[in-house]
Structure 1
Amino acid sequence: MTKRLILIDGSSYLYRAFHALPPLTNADGEPTGALFGIVNMLRATLKEAPDFAAFVVDAPGRTFRDDLYDQYKANRPPMPDELRAQVEPMCTIVEALGFPILRVAGVEADDVIGTLALQAADAGIEVTISTGDKDFAQLVRPRVTLVNTMSGSRMDSDDAVRDKFGVRADQIVDLLALMGDSIDNIPGVPKCGPKTAAKWLTEYESLDGVIANAGNIKGKIGENLREALHQLPLSRDLATIKTDVALDGGPETLILRPRAVDALRVLYTRYGFGQALKDLDAAAGDAGTAPATAAAIAIPAPPSTLDPALSVPGEYETVLTRERLDAWVSQLQAAEEFAFDTETDALDAMRSGLVGLSFAIEPGRAAYIPVGHDYPGAPAQLDRAQVLDALRGVLEDPAKRKLGQHGKYDIHVLRRHGIEVRGYADDTLLESFVLDAGIARHDLDSLAKRHLGMDTIKFEDVAGKGAKQISFSQVAIDDASKYAAEDADITLRLHRVMKPRIEADAGLARVYTDIEMPLVPVLARIEANGVRVDADELRRQSADLSKRMLAAQQKATELAGRTFNLDSPKQLCALLFDELKLPALVKTPKGQPSTNEEALEAIADQHELPRVILEYRGLNKLRSTYTDKLPEMINADTGRVHTSYHQAGAATGRLSSSDPNLQNIPIRTDDGRRIRRAFVAPPGRKLIACDYSQIELRIMAHLSGDPGLVRAFESGVDIHRATAAEVFGRPLDEVSGNERRAAKAINFGLMYGMSAFGLARNLGIGRGEAQDYIALYFSRYPGVRDFMDRTREQARATGHVETVFGRRLTLDFIQKGNASQRAGAERAAINAPMQGTAADIIKRAMITIDGWISAHAERAKMILQVHDELVFEADLDFVDTLLAEVVSRMTSAAELRVPLVVDSGVGDNWDEAH
């Protein structure tokens, strides 16, 4: 019987699965979409029972194609973080399923597959190459078949290849050379698509024939061909799959190992692959399975050493009488600490009504006090005012330790109902964030699963989901009580698990105790203060933006020669790529031409229309996000807009904001500054903006201790001009604008891991020249290079980096993973200490400023935090006092080797003050 070999193009399928499937995650928030696709494909492969199989992936490092052409794959974007996180688990699962994994240095996975395919075919083995990559069509021949398991398509003959591409299999390399490849950056003939290339090859048989007859091809495409003749042989070499790679073993060595069932069970459970787990368990007794190896199950599991006291069943009470309320108040007063939570009828803390409160005093003991369930037939509940009055003493007692999960929301709700919560001591969301800033989710349900191994009642379980979701006030009290009391109970249990871990690490304890927890009431006050916006000014801006959008539409119509819908991706695709024949340089997850911002920017230098569409979209985004929306967000009770700040919004510790997101208002454009003009001071007051100057560069100088960089900051000169003077070896007053721009790009680019290629693209210069700039920079600032090298080494040794104040960012891939993953982790290792320290500094400043400004609450208030900037509102005669106090506190929020500098301004609106 003929034997079969299946060669799986692992790198191709990982990307295709990632882009083809929705962004799935498991209960811990880990991305799983690509893994899900890969696992299903591999399980299907195993059902075919091949005699031999291999999962082939690219090895890290350069290949011979990089030596042929230094721009090979230079345009390929970095692997998305969500995909990078799935690479190592993918390899673990592949190994547990029994597939040999092949990586060969110096070549690509395509070359390994090509070599094995031809060796096997010559030996009489039937070969199936499982891939979605068109390049493999060049390998189709007797005994070599291509199968795309995602689309179900097969190519097993010249006829099948011709049906797909219009040419024979032996002409595919020439077709690819003529077309070029924007993803791999293979130069081809500009504007030569697959139909044109196939037509030429049909007429002239081969690439050599096309080259020989280039003078006979008319029109612009003929000119393009003749201009590209010198690079077509290189393009053919780059597109040719190598079939003579030196391998350690031949096809017959690629034997499937028995599955590691225990490891697969752990992996499938972790990533939520329910059907795969059922199938595995159903076949657990079959032959062909093996125990898990230690390497295969080296993954985090739910805690196995959990204190039994934190695993007790929950006993929850619904409080419906005054007698039971008084009994619970007494228990709260006697408890050393308690967890609390509020239930409301809306998500907006500044508008929602209180429906109930829950409390937990020890693991398993919790109660829910309903006060606002109003569905027909709801049981009689205690009066809301009466309940709040009874609880006021314990909730407002600063000596009574209280804890919550995202308690800032509950503080807002209770403040609006007459209770000023004091003694808020711990927050499980922030405990989780300080311990594990890099994880995706810090919500209660995810934390319960991660730290307690418990599945909790979800909001959707009691209120429904989607269009059928009801308000919590409509939820049956019995169901609401179980849900709400469990929230308080789980919060208390999580605190008992996480707080000791924080206290065991002095650095983390300082971040949590001195920065994150004291910031909670500060942010609550800023949010409650809100900011006034001029709705009439925003409406005028909306009208102006609409006129300019119409002008852009008219210009686009003129350029296109016909009308079309600028908001329709389908119509844009047809116009840009089918009619105007512009190159589709960026593809959607399904492989279709994209019309997103990146795609339009990529072709904006080839036609005016993409630039006009981008202008239209920019105007539309400002109008829909800000000028139209902000007036609708004015709170009817306060007359102000109230954003929400998120302490766990970024792994580095930087704050983010939402509803509205004020962090993303453009500052470098006239339209962005116009929007800031609508943020205004009330009559008799001014807005004051105080902004740290180049704080991350100053932190770089502090951390690196480079004498030249420290000296530049101490002198007070323009840092970018000073850097340019050092790098280019000329006096400050002779530094040109372009030299300063280059120095600025290097100063900021190094902190974000910018390569010579990125700098070259940023400055519009050659890659070699950009590399020279970077080399000059490091020669003048050797301490910066030493710091970067030292930080990478430390990160590899410890697996994490820290800010000046002890905030920690774990770098999962710094010690493992592939080269791309490690490179990304190394970039983060350099950047995170600076971004994180900047975040810590402004948070420390906010805490000290709040302590001072609270005594002057009638005269001034802190109203906004955006990046490195704080915005205040103050009486006219208090402005100078506020400026002096705020600037003093901001500049003394940290002791660095170089001075902290704060730029400030005063105005009737935010733009004037900035």
Structure 2
Amino acid sequence: MSDPQTLLLVDGSSYLYRAYHAMPDLRAVPGDPTSPATGAIRGMVNMLAALQKEVPAAYAACIFDASGPTFRDALYGDYKANRAAMPDDLRAQVAPIHEVVRLLGWPLLCIKGVEADDVIGTLARHAAARGLRVVIASGDKDLSQLVDERVMVVDTMSGKRRDVAGVTAEFGVPPSLMVDFQTLVGDAVDNVPGVPKVGPKTAAKWLAEHGSLDALIANAHTIKGVAGENLRGALPWLPTGRQLVTIKTDCDLSDALAGFPDAIDSIAVGAQQTGALRDFYERYGFRTLAHALQAGPDGATPAQAGESATAVAEAAQQREVRYETLLDWEQFEQWLARIQAAPLVALDTETTSLDELRARIVGLSFSVEPGSAAYIPLAHDGPGAPEQLPLDEVLARLKPWLEDPAAPKLGQHVKYDRHVLANHGIEVRGYVHDTMLQSYVLEVHKPHGLSSLAERHTGRTGLTYEDLCGKGAKQIPFSQVAVEQAAAYACEDSDQTLDVHRVLWPQLEGEPKLRTIYELEIACSETLFRIERNGVLIDAGALAAQSRDLGQRIVALETQAYEIAGQPFNLGSPKQLGEIFFDKLGMPVIKKTATGARSTDEEVLEKLAEDYPLPATLLEHRSLCKLKGTYTDKLGQLADPRTGRVHTHYAQAVAVTGRLSSNEPNLQNIPIRTAEGRRIREAFVAPPGRLIASCDYSQIELRIMAHISGDEALLAAFTHGLDVHRATAAEVFGVGLDQVSSEQRRYAKTINFGLIYGMSSFGLAKSLGIGTAAAKNYIDRYFERYPGVKRYMDLTRLEAKERGFVETVFGRRLVLPEINSPNGPRRAAAERAAINAPMQGTAADLIKMAMVQVQQELDRERPEVLMVMQVHDELVFELPEGEREWVRTEVPRIMAEVAQLKVPLLAEVGFGSNWDEAH
């Protein structure tokens, strides 16, 4: 039922941008990049449908900005001067969006000379004066100034609700002072200056102390320091700034709304125009939406084989849900039978911790069909918690199904749930789908959390963990959440996971190359679970000794810095460093910060260190402090006290190239270019009677460059087993292979790897310490000798601009949102990424393929050999001494044979009692 006491105002201009960025690149003719874009249209339809369900108002309007100037442009010529032009693809969708909004029954307002915010403000004030409740749907914080006891702003994308208390908590001032607050802070989005260097905290503090902007202005002479000077300097501007940021609430809307302000009825929600809407959907390729209209209100049925993703999303938005809480054995047995008979089951765990190796189960949820889910509370111990089924017995009854590889299961981030169930002695098999990884493969550049996926693909929003447990110091454990609330949350998670899968999986099925990548990610997830579970042994004593040594060297470097400076000082203070560097020691100023201060950042220190001893000492000091704080002090604390092993967490769905990242500890960033960094690897050890083995790909990205570019000279160098850097030096410097000097080889190595990363002549000059002209000459000579590489780079840039993405050798799609950006530096960075991403991404695919195949072979042949780490292009193992020969021959062979490129893959293995020895 629509609420006759509520007016819903939608910030349409905000919504259309959000719809454009949230949706994939949909086209009226799927797969045809020349066909008109429809993603923003489809997203707008989804978002409005979800909003109507969440706020069932009898009165509503969708308000858009009209083209052309407003009073603010006349008041301030630079108003919104820094805003980028609307993307062409989006501009072409604005008129159809306006059309479909009207066809859906929404009153639409787009008033010449009046900004959307001012229309919203005027309508909100009049409706509130008539006693209506007003809900404004927008992500724009500026609208917070309209909030009062009858007006609230909701951001459905983030779940944020700004009522009076919410605005006060978020900004530190009540809504009544938001105009004053915005005047002081300014608005960077609209290019409205505030008081220089005054941020939200200072503005809130001043207004709390003085009560209003006018009172603050009257007492500006009492404000001390630089902030006070800036305030006094801005006084002539502040009245103009206040006019610019103030949302008008008295606009004349009579031309748009007959009888305004009394005729609120003119923006009553109308019936959708079914026939015209169906024609619209057909015209823009939304065939399942059109079919649903033909079939009537019940036409959007659960998806069967062949039904498209958009139909599933439509059904998800409209249906009722049936969630059950299982508190007795009869209910449990009924659901167990449903689970065992279902073709696919979404499974989710509710736990005591985000640390997957220590988390214990609080409850389990399942969904076997859309809108139907069940929650089994198992360890709720809060006030009023009901009697629950015994955890151990429930898990024992579920174990045969959980460990059955023939029982297909689905989850969101299933690696976490594998660990949680393994903590209870259950090794889950049969995970065939993971919605997080589906999203990662299909839309790598977007968020992959379940709430984002559900809203983006099904228009559904739901409860958050914070809704149930609170935030910060007052957050309660999930076990203390009331069972009925926990059940709603947990069932919703499983149900939404099933919904999202039913949208994303058909898209993957229709893209064979992406489906192959997805299947690789699923297999990789299982292998990573094994690696994380194994962990690697840490020598805590060796780390403690390293920390002591580093501590002594750090103290010695501090003393050395004081002696050079001629005084003690805070080595971490940019202000004191600036005074000593530039005032006392007369060093040249290399660059300044955004605020005009003399910079002493890392880049400046490196440049000054070429000529001055103090910056060099500081760089070494910083490097050792980082090693000590990040690794030698911390690694031992991360080890499991029972086993002495550290268990890193590998994140799959993070890097856009497909590379893995790791944390707690971060194994990818252990420095290896310094002796101190390499020494840290000595602390990763094998237990007595066992060895560490390291096997890594040799020059993998250069080999991929040879394969992708097809350059004959580069292919020949690898095919004949030449030292590729020496071969490049011979080509670039025009000498024989046996005449290449070590310096020439170093130059060639820098060129080889630099060009892979899109390095410019300026960057190469900086890396080699030579002039830009000389660096450009080297690059030109390189491309003369390797024309295939130049051709690949040029073609890749062009293809990336046309398609918006590049691909790896195996079909992983690497999206480049900024490839056609009007912003020069961003576009240039995207072009560099376009060249490098296929190589980094292909290398990521290869190491994942190798990891999966090696683990499968270990399971079949050598269960005593444990894979314990994956770092960049390297796999690390722990093995009995007796397995050395098998690992020496078989692991490099498997890694070399995972794919057939135009050049041979080469993997090299080493052994030792610790990781450093083996590397």
TM-score normalized by the length of structure 1:
0.69
User: Which residue in the other structure is 1:351 paired with?
Assistant: 358
Query: Which residue of structure 2 lines up, in the alignment, with residue 53 of structure 1?
Result: 77
Q: Which amino acid aligns with 2:196?
A: S
Give the aligned partner of residue 409 of structure 1: 416
How big is the shift at 1:761? 0.8
Q: Which shifted more, 417-426 or 729-738?
A: 729-738
One-letter code of the match for 2:511?
D
Contact 1:528 1:642 in 2 (8 A): yes
Q: Which residue of 2 aligns with 1:563?
A: 568
Aligned to 1:528: 533
Give the structure 1 partner of residue 890 of structure 2.
885
Q: Give CA-to-partner distance per residue, 1:85-141, whole Å, 9 cap, x none.
A: x95669999x99999xxxxxxxxxxxxxxxxxxxxxxxxxxxxxx9x9xxxxxxxxx
Alignment of 1:615-634 (within 5 A): 615-634=620-639
Q: 2:323 aligns with which of 316, 319, 341?
A: 316
**Partner-residue secondary structure (3-state), 2:657:** coil
Report the residue type matching 1:755 in the other structure.
S
Which structure 2 segments of 5+ residues have no match? Answer: 1-17, 25-65, 95-109, 114-182, 186-190, 199-243, 258-283, 290-308
Query: How far did 1:558 drift?
Result: 1.4
In 2, Cα distance between equivalents of 1:554 and 1:512 = 55
**What is the letter of the counterpart of residue 506 of structure 1?**
P
The amino acid of 1:610's aligned partner reads: P
Deviation at residue 590 of structure 1 after TM alignment: 5.2
In the aligned structure 1, how far is the partner of 2:827 from the partner of 2:255?
A: 39
Q: Is the contact made by 2:312 and 2:502 (CA closer than 8 Å) also made in structure 1?
A: no
Residues 574 and 325 of structure 1, relative CA distance in 2, 3 Å threshold: farther
- 1:377 aligned residue (374, 377, 384): 384
| Change beyond 3 A, Cα 1:587–1:875 | same
Greater displacement, 519-528 / 788-797: 788-797
Determine helix, strand or coil for the equivalent of 1:865: strand
- Provide the C-alpha distance between the structure 2 equivalents of 1:763 and 1:355, rounded to a whole number of angstroms: 58
> 2:678 corresponds to which residue?
673
Q: For the Cα contact (< 8 Å) 1:27–1:446, is it kept in 2?
A: no
From the superposition, tell whether residues 580 and 46 of structure 1 become closer, same or farther in structure 2 (CA, over 3 Å): farther
The one-letter code of the counterpart of 1:459 is: Y
Match of 2:810 in 1: 805
Equivalent residue number for residue 849 of structure 1:
854
Q: CA deviation at 1:746?
A: 1.1
Q: Does 1:386 align with 2:397?
A: no
Within a 5 Å distance, the mapping from 1:645-664 to structure 2 comes to 645-664=650-669
Cα separation, partners in 2 of 1:322 and 1:541, compared to 1, 3 Å: same
**Offset at 1:736?**
1.6
Which amino acid is the alignment partner of residue 904 of structure 2?
P
- Using the TM superposition, give the Cα deviation of residue 825 of structure 1 relative to its aligned residue in structure 2, in angstroms: 2.0
Q: Which amino acid aligns with 1:477?
A: V
Q: In the alignment, is residue 700 of structure 1 matched against residue 710 of structure 2?
A: no
Query: Partners of 2:761 and 2:112 in 1: how far apart?
Result: 41
C-alpha contact 1:29 1:446 (8 A) present in aligned 2: no
Q: Offset at 1:53?
A: 2.9
Of 491, 494, 499, the residue aligned with 2:505 is 499
Aligned to 1:822: 827
Contact 1:805 1:840 in 2 (8 A): yes
Q: Against the structure 1 CA distance between its residues 286 and 452, is the aligned structure 2 distance closer, same or farther, given a 3 Å change threshold?
A: farther
- CA-CA distance at 1:611 after TM superposition: 2.3
Task: Answer whether contact 2:681 2:916 (CA < 8 A) is retained.
Answer: yes
Offset, 1:579:
4.8
Q: Cα distance, 1:858 vs. partner? A: 4.3
Deviations 1:700-738 (A, max 9, x none): 001111111011111212111110001111011211222
Paired residues for 1:207-606 under 5 Å? 285=253, 307-311=313-317, 312-439=319-446, 441-513=447-519, 515-576=520-581, 579-580=584-585, 582=587, 585=590, 592-605=597-610
* 1:133-179 C-alpha deviation (Å, 9 max, x unpaired): xxxxxxxxxxxxx99545299xxxxxxxxxxxxxxxxxxxxxxxxxx
Separation in 1, partners of 2:842, 2:21: 31
Cα separation, 1, equivalents of 2:85 and 2:703:
36
Q: Offset of 1:281 from its aligned partner? A: 9.8
In 1, the alpha carbon distance for the partners of 2:411 and 2:247 equals: 41
> Which residue of 792, 796, 801 corresponds with 1:791?
796
Counterparts in 2 of 1:548 and 1:313: CA distance versus 1, 3 Å = farther
Deviations 1:245-274 (A, max 9, x none): xxxxxxxxxxxxxxxxxxxxxxxxxxxxxx
Partner amino acid for 1:524? F
**Which one-letter code corresponds to 2:414 in the other structure?**
G
Report Cα offsets for 1:653-695 as digits up to 9, x if no partner. 0111111110000111111110000000111111010010100
DSSP-derived class of the 1:720 partner = helix
Inter-CA distance 825–398: structure 2 relative to 1 (3 Å threshold): same
Q: Residue 196 of structure 2 corresponds to which residue in structure 1?
A: 151
Matching residue's letter, 2:548? A
Could you say if the C-alpha distance between residues 730 and 561 of structure 1 is closer, same or farther in structure 2, counting changes exceeding 3 Å? Answer: same
Task: Give the conservation status (yes or no) of the 8 Å contact 1:842–1:893.
Answer: no
Per the TM alignment, residue 500 of structure 1 is displaced from its structure 2 partner at its CA by 0.6
Instruction: Provide TM-score, normalisation by structure 2.
Output: 0.69
Distance 1:858 1:806, change over 3 A: closer
**AA matched with 1:452:** T
User: Which deviates more, 609-618 or 753-762?
Assistant: 609-618
Letter of the structure 1 residue corresponding to residue 464 of structure 2: K
SS at match of 2:671: coil
Aligned residue pairs, count:
677
* CA drift at 1:635: 1.1
The 1:476/1:318 distance shift into structure 2, 3 A limit, reads: same
Contact 2:683 2:914 in 1 (8 A): yes
Distance 2:477 2:586 in 1: 52
Asked if the contact 2:359–2:423 (Cα under 8 Å) also holds between the matched residues in 1, the reply is no
Cα deviation 1:754-800 (Å, max 9, x = unaligned): 01111111111111111110110011111111111222222222221
* Alpha-carbon contact 1:326-1:390 (below 8 Å) kept: no
The Cα shift of 1:582 comes to 4.6
Letter in 2 for 1:407: V
* RMSD of equivalent CA atoms: 3.6
Select which of 782, 791, 805 maps to 2:787. 782
SS at 1:795's partner residue? Answer: helix
2: distance between equivalents of 1:798 and 1:641? 43
8 Å Cα contact 1:431/1:498 also seen in 2: yes
CA contact (8 A) 1:841 1:893 kept: yes
Is 1:712 the counterpart of 2:709 in the alignment? Answer: no
Trace 1:682-701 onto structure 2 (pairs within 5 A). Answer: 682-701=687-706
- Sort the Cα spacing of 1:286 and 1:552 in 2 relative to 1 into closer, same or farther, 3 A: farther
Q: Structure 1 residues 734 and 464, CA, compared in 2 at 3 Å: closer, same or farther?
A: same
SS in 2 for 1:50: helix
Whole-angstrom distance in 2 between the partners of 1:26 and 1:551? 57
Letter in 1 for 2:916: D
**Distance verdict in 2 for CA 1:97–1:427, change over 3 Å:** farther
Q: What is the match of residue 607 of structure 1?
A: 612
CA separation in 2, counterparts of 1:468 and 1:606? 54
